[in-house]
C-alpha cells in the first residue's frame, strides 16, 4: 500500500503523537477551564503548555492562539466573526471551500467580494493582488499554499500590502503549516491565521487553531460554555475564549503539541528538504511520460502535485492507481472549484499526489512506473 | 502572613500567569476563587506578598489582562486595584 494523499490528512504520525494522545486518555486530565480541582487544573495546565508550544512554533504569544477542531472552524470563526457587510474582501481563485463558502455567506449578507484573477498557469503574481485592490478594500483572504498544486502565495508582499493599507489579512495555513517556516515579514499586519493539525504538522485529526495578530475583534461564532462569566447572556469576546466554546479536544491538542515538538526536533528545514526531494523526484520522473499534463506554476512548490493523463477522467486514473497498483491518490476538484474552473478541469478534475516525510523514494519510483503504464493505455 | 490574589476573567490567562510564575521560579499557584470574591473565571493566582512586584512586572510585560488584585489571607480579602498599568 502506498499512500500519496497526505494533503487530505497525513496517514502516519510520529510515535510521540500517538503516545501523547494515549497518555491524555489514561485518567489524569479533567475538563480544562471547568472547575478548579486537581484534574481540571491538570488539564488546564496541559492545554496551557500546548498553547505555548504551538505559539512558539508559529512565533506568536500564547494568548494569541486559540484551539479549534480544524482549519474549517478557524476560517469560519475568522470570516464570520471579524467581517461584516461593511467590508470589502479581496480573495483568490486558489481558495479552498472552507474559505470560499464562509466568504460567499458574508457576501449574501452584503459584504463585497473581489477575486484576484489567475494566469494561464493557474497562479497569480503579487502585483495582480495589488491591482485587484479597490479603494474601499478592507481585507485580503488568501490560501498560503494551494492544496491542488502546492504553489505558494507571495506572503511577504501581501502582508506588506495589508500592513501599509491597514487591511485585515485572513490567511489559510492548512497546507503550508509544517512544510516550511513562515517567511520573514518586514511588518506584520493585523491578521487572523487558520491552521489545521492533521496534515503536514503530523498531528491528530480534530486539532487546529486560529492565531490573532494585532488588534482584531471577533464576534463569537459558536456560543456556550466558556467556564467564565456564567451568568452573562453572551459568550465572552476575549481571545482565546471567543473561539473556544465548549469542551476542548484535549487528546488531539496534546497530540498536536507532541507533533510540533517532534517537527522542531527533526528540524523543519530538514523535513522540508526530505519531502521536497520526493516531489521533485516525481516531477522529474513523470516529465517524459506522454499524454501527461502537469499543473502548477512553481518548481519549489509545497508537497503536492496535480496532473491529468490525456482526457482520462481523474477519478478513473485514481481508481486504477488504487486498485491495480495499491497507490492512494485524490482525484476530482479538491474543494477548490474556482481553480478547476479557471483551468478548464471542472469535468475532468485532476489527479493529486501529495507527500509526507514518511513516504520513500521507492514509493515514488513505483508511482512513476504505474503512471507510465496507465499513460500507455491512453495511446 | 499577608498574601496577594490575582483574578482573571479567563481561565487560560490565569493558567498562563501560573506558567510564567513557574518559569520564573516564583512560588505562586492557582487556587479556586474564594467565595467572597465574585465573578472571574473561578481561579485565582495566589502569591506571597514579597513576590508582588515581580509578578506585577511579569503580568504587565506579557500583557495578561487582570480582573482584580486582592490582598489578605484566609477568608478576608481586600481589593487593591483593577489594573496594573
Ligand atoms: C487549503 C485548505 N484549506 C482548508 C482546508 C480545511 O482543512 P480541515 O478539513 O482540516 O478543516 C484544507 C483541507 O483540505 C485545505 O487544503
Residues A238 and A365 in one domain: no
Q: What is the β-pairing status of strands A304-309 and A327-328?
A: unpaired
Nearest neighbour of A228 by CB, restricted to B11, B62, B64: B11
Q: How confident is the model at residue A34, as a pLDDT?
A: 81
**Segment A14-64, tens digit of pLDDT:** 999 999 999 999 999 999 978 889 999 999 999 999 999 999 999 999 999
| CA gap A303, A305 in Å, rounded | 7
> A8 lies in a domain?
no
- Spatial CA neighbour of A191 closest among A221, A161, A209, A215: A215
Domain end: A219, A245, A266, which one?
A: A266
> For the residues of A193-241, what is the DSSP string, one character each?
EEEESSSTT---TT-EEEEEESS-----SS-S--SS-TT-SS---STTG
Residues A31 and A124 in one domain: yes
| Average model confidence (pLDDT) across chain A | 95
Residue A116 forms part of a structural domain: yes
Specify the number of domains making up chain A.
Answer: 2
Tell me if residue B78 falls in helix, strand or coil: strand
Rounded to a whole number of angstroms, the distance from the CA of B31 to the nearest CA of chain A is 7
Question: Do residues A177 and A202 lie in contact, with contact meaning Cβ atoms separated by under 8 Å?
Answer: no
B5: burial class by Cβ within 10 Å (0-12, 13-18, 19+)? buried
Per-residue pLDDT of A323-371, as tens digits, reads 999 999 999 888 999 999 999 999 999 999 999 999 999 999 999 999 9
Residue A285 domain flag: yes
| Residue that finishes a domain, picked among A226, A247, A266 | A266
What is the whole-number distance in angstroms between the Cα of residue A165 and the centre of ligand 1?
28
pLDDT in tens, A33-47: 788 899 999 999 999
A71 CA closest ligand 1 atom index: 11
pLDDT for position A299 = 87
Question: In this structure, is residue A9 part of a structural domain?
Answer: no
Which residue shows C-alpha cell 517537527? Answer: A263
- For residue B85, how many C-alpha atoms fall within 13 Å in the half-sphere facing its CB? 8
Q: Write down the pLDDT at residue A375.
A: 95
**Subunit contact A228:B42, Cβ cutoff 8 A:** yes
pLDDT score at A225: 72
Distance A75 CA to ligand 1 centre (A): 10
* Pair A259, A273 in one domain: no
Residue A4, in any domain of the structure: no
Task: State residue B41's pLDDT score.
Answer: 72
Q: Quick one: A210 and A276 in the same domain?
A: no
Q: Are residues A236 and A99 in the same domain?
A: yes
Please report how many Cα atoms fall inside a 13 Å half-sphere around the Cα of residue A45, on the Cβ side: 17
Q: Which residues of B touch A229 (CB under 8 A)?
A: 9, 39
Cα distance between residue B61 and residue B48, in whole Å: 20
Task: Give contacts of B 32-61 with A, CB under 8 A.
Answer: 32-33, 39-43
Atom of ligand 1 at shortest range from CA of A143? 1
Question: Is residue A306 assigned to a domain?
Answer: yes
Cis preceding linkage at A240, omega within 30:
yes
- Helix ranges, chain A (H): 15-24, 38-58, 71-82, 97-108, 126-132, 155-165, 250-266, 268-286, 314-325, 337-343, 361-376
CB contact under 8 A, A238 and B31: no
A284 with A268: CB under 8 angstroms? no
Count CA atoms closer than 13 A to A158's CA, side-chain side. Answer: 26
Residue among A147, A155, A337 whose CB has most ligand 1 atoms within 8 A, to mutate? A147
Residue A199's alpha-carbon distances to A202, A226, A282, A345, B33, in angstroms, are 6, 28, 20, 25, 40
SS3 track for B35-64: CCCCCCCCEEEEEEHHHHHHHHHHHHHCCC
Sole residue written with cell 497507490: A327
Distance from CA of A271 to the nearest CA of B (A): 30
Q: Is the dihedral of CA A314, A319, A322, A323 positive or negative?
A: negative
* Cα–Cα separations (whole angstroms), residue A248 to A227, A356, B3: 11, 27, 33
A61 plus A33 within the same structural domain: yes
Checking if the pLDDT of A111 tops 90, the result is yes
Which residue shows C-alpha cell 488539564? A43
Ligand 1 atom closest to A198 (CA) = 10
Which residues are paired to B7 by β-bridges?
A: B44, B68
Interface predicted TM-score of the whole assembly (ipTM), two decimals: 0.88
CATH of residue A287's domain is 3.90.1150.10
In terms of domains, do A308 and A236 share one? no
Report if residue A3 sits inside a domain: no
The Cα–Cα gap between A148 and A95 comes to 10
SS3 call for B33: coil
Ligand 1: which residue has its CA nearest to atom 12?
A: A174
Residues A277 and A233 in one domain: no
Is B74's pLDDT higher than 90?
no
- Give me the residues of A, 273-302, that contact B with CB < 8 A: none
With cell 464576534, the residue in question is A219
Nearest-angstrom CA–CA distance, A104 and A42? 41
State what percent of residues in chain A have pLDDT above 70.
98
pLDDT reported for residue A179: 96
Are residues A182 and A253 part of one domain?
yes
Number of H helices, E strands in chain B: 2, 5
Q: What is the mean pLDDT of residues A148-173?
A: 97
With 0-12 / 13-18 / 19 or more C-beta atoms within 10 angstroms meaning exposed / middle / buried, residue A300 is exposed
- Identify the domain containing residue A301 by its residue range: 267-376
Average pLDDT rounded to a whole number, residues A193-208: 98
pLDDT digits (tens, 9 = 90+) for B7-57: 998 899 999 999 999 999 999 999 988 877 865 678 899 999 999 999 999
pLDDT score for B72: 93
**Same domain membership, residue A186 and residue A284:** no
pTM of the model: 0.94
Residue A295 has pLDDT above 80, yes or no: yes
Position A165 confidence tier, pLDDT thresholds 50, 70, 90: very high
Which position has the higher pLDDT, A231 or B64?
A: B64
Separation of alpha carbons B61 and B55, rounded Å: 10
Distance CA A68, CA A149 (A): 26
Q: Grid coordinates standing for A176? A: 503550508
In terms of domains, do A300 and A324 share one? yes
Separation in Å, CA of B42 to nearest CA in chain A: 7
Contact A234, A93 (CB under 8 A): no
Dist CA A127 CA A116 (whole Å)? 10
Among A266, A284, A305, the domain-final residue is: A266
Q: Are B14 and B68 in contact (CB under 8 A)?
A: no
* Set of cell numbers at residue A190: 493585523
Q: Is pLDDT above 70 for B83? A: no
Amino acid at each position: 500500500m502506498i499512500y500519496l494523499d497526505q494533503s487530505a490528512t497525513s496517514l502516519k504520525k510520529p510515535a510521540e503523537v500517538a503516545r501523547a494522545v494515549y497518555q491524555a486518555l489514561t485518567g489524569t486530565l479533567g475538563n480544562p477551564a471547568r472547575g478548579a480541582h486537581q484534574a481540571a487544573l491538570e488539564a488546564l495546565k496541559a492545554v496551557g503548555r500546548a498553547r505555548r508550544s504551538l505559539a512558539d512554533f508559529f512565533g506568536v504569544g500564547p494568548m494569541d492562539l486559540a484551539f479549534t477542531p480544524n482549519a474549517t472552524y478557524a476560517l469560519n470563526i475568522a470570516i464570520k466573526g471579524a467581517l461584516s457587510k461593511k467590508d470589502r474582501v479581496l480573495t483568490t481563485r486558489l481558495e479552498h471551500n472552507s474559505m470560499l463558502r464562509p466568504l460567499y455567506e458574508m457576501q449574501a449578507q452584503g459584504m463585497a467580494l473581489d477575486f484576484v484573477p489567475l494566469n494561464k498557469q493557474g497562479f497569480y503574481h503579487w502585483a495582480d493582488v495589488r491591482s485587484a485592490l479597490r479603494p474601499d478594500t478592507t481585507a485580503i483572504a488568501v490560501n498560503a499554499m494551494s492544496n491542488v498544486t502546492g504553489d505558494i502565495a507571495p506572503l511577504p508582499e501581501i502582508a506588506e500590502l495589508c500592513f501599509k493599507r491597514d487591511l485585515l489579512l485572513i490567511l489559510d495555513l492548512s497546507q503550508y503549516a509544517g512544510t516550511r517556516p513562515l517567511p520573514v515579514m518586514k511588518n506584520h499586519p493585523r491578521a487572523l491565521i487558520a491552521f489545521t493539525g492533521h496534515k503536514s504538522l503530523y498531528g491528530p485529526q480534530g486539532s487546529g487553531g486560529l492565531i490573532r495578530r494585532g488588534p482584531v475583534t471577533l464576534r463569537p461564532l459558536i456560543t456556550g460554555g466558556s467556564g467564565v462569566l456564567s451568568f452573562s447572556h453572551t459568550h465572552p469576546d476575549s481571545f482565546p475564549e471567543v473561539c473556544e466554546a465548549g469542551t476542548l479536544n484535549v487528546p488531539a491538542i496534546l497530540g498536536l503539541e507532541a507533533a510540533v515538538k517532534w517537527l522542531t526536533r527533526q528540524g523543519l528545514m530538514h523535513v522540508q528538504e526530505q519531502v521536497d526531494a520526493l516531489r521533485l523526484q516525481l516531477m522529474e520522473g513523470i516529465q517524459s511520460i506522454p499524454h501527461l499534463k502537469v499543473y502548477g506554476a512553481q518548481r519549489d512548490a509545497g508537497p503536492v502535485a496535480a496532473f491529468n493523463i490525456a482526457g482520462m477522467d481523474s477519478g478513473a486514473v485514481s481508481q486504477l492507481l488504487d486498485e491495480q497498483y495499491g497507490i492512494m491518490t485524490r482525484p476530482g476538484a479538491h474543494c477548490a472549484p474556482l481553480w478547476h474552473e479557471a483551468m478548464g478541469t471542472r469535468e475532468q478534475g485532476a489527479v493529486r499526489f501529495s507527500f509526507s516525510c514518511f513516504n520513500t523514494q521507492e514509493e515514488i519510483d513505483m508511482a512513476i512506473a504505474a503512471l507510465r503504464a496507465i499513460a500507455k493505455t491512453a495511446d | 502572613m499577608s498574601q496577594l490574589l490575582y483574578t482573571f476573567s479567563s481561565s487560560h490567562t490565569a493558567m498562563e500567569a501560573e506558567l510564567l510564575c513557574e518559569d520564573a521560579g516564583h512560588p505562586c499557584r492557582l487556587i479556586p476563587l474564594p467565595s467572597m470574591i465574585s465573578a472571574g473565571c473561578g481561579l485565582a493566582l495566589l502569591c506571597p506578598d514579597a513576590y508582588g512586584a515581580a509578578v506585577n512586572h511579569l503580568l504587565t510585560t506579557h500583557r495578561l489582562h487582570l480582573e482584580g488584585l486582592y490582598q489578605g489571607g484566609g477568608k478576608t480579602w481586600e481589593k487593591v486595584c483593577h489594573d496594573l498599568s
